[in-house]
Amino acid sequence: MKEFGYGLIYLLCGIFMIGWPLRLLRMMDTCLAFIFFVNGTRKLLKAGKNHKVMDIGFGLLSIGFAVFIFNDQHFSNEIIRMGTAVYMLMYCVSCLVQYLIDLDTKEGHALIDLGNGVFSLFIGFYLIIHPHFDVNVLIILYGIYCMGLAGRSFLDGWTGIKKDYHWQRKHYLMLPAIVLAFLPGQRVQRLQKQTETEMMDQKTNEKTFLKVMVQVGPQGLQKVGHIAFAYKDCVYSYGNYDAESSKLNGTMGDGVFFMLPFDAYLDQMLHMEKNSVFEYGISISKKQAKWIEQEIKKLKERSKRWFCAIERENGFSHAQDYMNDYPSRLRNATQVQFYKIRKGKFKTYWALGDNCAQFTNIVFSKLGSAILNSRGVVSPGAYFVWLEHEFKKAKSPIVYRKIHIAA
């Protein structure tokens, strides 16, 4: 299985990082210098044909940068130190905002979020104000992290071939969210080169009442993807759909979810929104189905009907004026219904905390999925990677995968 192969790669990377951190840094410097030198040479050769001053400038700049890196031999140290610092500060922001949301909703793990935020803030600033920090320490820590990923991959491979395999809630170690974020979009780009617009892989003919969908758009942040679930062919999708409440460039706002028949959702995503959709069918027991229904009922009880702009203003006769508003566009084409969460978890949408991926926890928490116990930001990309890995396991509850490629 591929999990064993990934585990071996992680293991070798971890051993190299822990055993020879200084050599790894020097190799990074050499590789960066080579890349800039090749890029600069290409630009100059191109300038020799088109005589563009810009190509000459970029070419000379790239070659000069390559010479600087090669002679300095500490460039990678700065990249790793500052890169780690920036990442820790970004993680700090995500944790502290989630902490404030937890305080407001009286849900979640406020103290854990506060502790993670303060710790990340300290590490981030410490790395910034100490330019001579021994980066070898960071490399060794990354090596230990890779060893942990190796252990997880080997365990995934082993549990995937067991006859009595089932999902368990446990801590799930994964790659950082920033690494996984754009994987769904990259996968779609590769699939678009094929002639098929629909691909189906099925393990059994079992009818499934639960589906999970990862949708990926063609541009910008749409490539990060969005995740939703469907129970008994009714789609539940959560996001920052109320533009009037939107803050921080759309990353925060009032939590709103919509309900829509699956066929209408799929048609809208493929033909109107030009989003490709990865659909996964999940086998559930009667007991799990009852649990899911109870959670959906609780969600509806703490929500109220929300009307989008085209509904509030009765603008269906001139719908073209509302086409820049996604909820209105969706409502004009379908009988979708929106609901705003009044209290509790998901009252406030936060892209780096209570987001669409965490919303899917409503159903996955009843199935014992390991990814739900992950620490840090859980993105649609993280779910996508996990769903792909689980589908490939023979005894996994994910019994089919259907890929719909937007035309």
**Per residue in 163-176, pLDDT tens?**
566 665 555 667 77
Instruction: Return the pLDDT at 14.
Output: 85
- Asked if pLDDT for residue 116 goes beyond 70, the answer is yes
Once rounded to an integer, what is the mean pLDDT over residues 14-34? 84
Instruction: Return the pLDDT at 181.
Output: 73
pLDDT tens figures, 270-314: 988 889 999 999 988 888 899 899 999 999 999 999 999 999 998
Highest mean pLDDT among 39-43, 145-149, 268-272, 350-354: 268-272
- Report the candidate in 174, 226, 217, 180 with the shortest Cα–Cα distance to residue 381: 180
- Asked if pLDDT for residue 81 goes beyond 60, the answer is yes
Instruction: Return the pLDDT at 172.
Output: 63
Q: Which structure tokens are listed for 277?
A: 């959709």
- Label residue 344 by pLDDT band (50, 70, 90): confident
Q: How deeply is 97 buried, as exposed, middle or buried, from its count of CB atoms within 10 A (0-12, 13-18, 19+)?
A: buried
pTM assigned to the model: 0.80
pLDDT tens figures, 353-372: 888 888 888 787 767 654 55
Once rounded to an integer, what is the mean pLDDT over residues 5-27? 84
Residue the block writes with tokens 């089932």? 166
Kindly give the pairing relationship between strand 276-282 and strand 198-202.
unpaired
Instruction: Return the pLDDT at 122.
Output: 93
DSSP states along 264-320: HHHHIIIIIS--EEEEEEE---HHHHHHHHHHHHHHHHTEEEE--HHHHTT-GGGGG
Q: Name the average pLDDT for the chain.
A: 83
- Asked if pLDDT for residue 195 goes beyond 70, the answer is no
Once rounded to an integer, what is the mean pLDDT over residues 181-207? 74
Residue the block writes with tokens 């009044």? 342
Displacement of CA 275 from its chain's centroid (Å): 16
Distance CA 393, CA 403 (A): 18
Lowest mean pLDDT among 9-13, 25-29, 78-82: 25-29
Count of beta carbons in the 10 Å neighbourhood of residue 148? 13
Instruction: Return the pLDDT at 338.
Output: 95
In b/e form, how buried is each residue of 60-70, taking b as 16+ CB within 10 angstroms? eebbebbeebb
- Asked if pLDDT for residue 102 goes beyond 70, the answer is yes
Q: Hey, where are the domains in the chain? A: 2-141, 176-404
- Asked if pLDDT for residue 213 goes beyond 80, the answer is yes
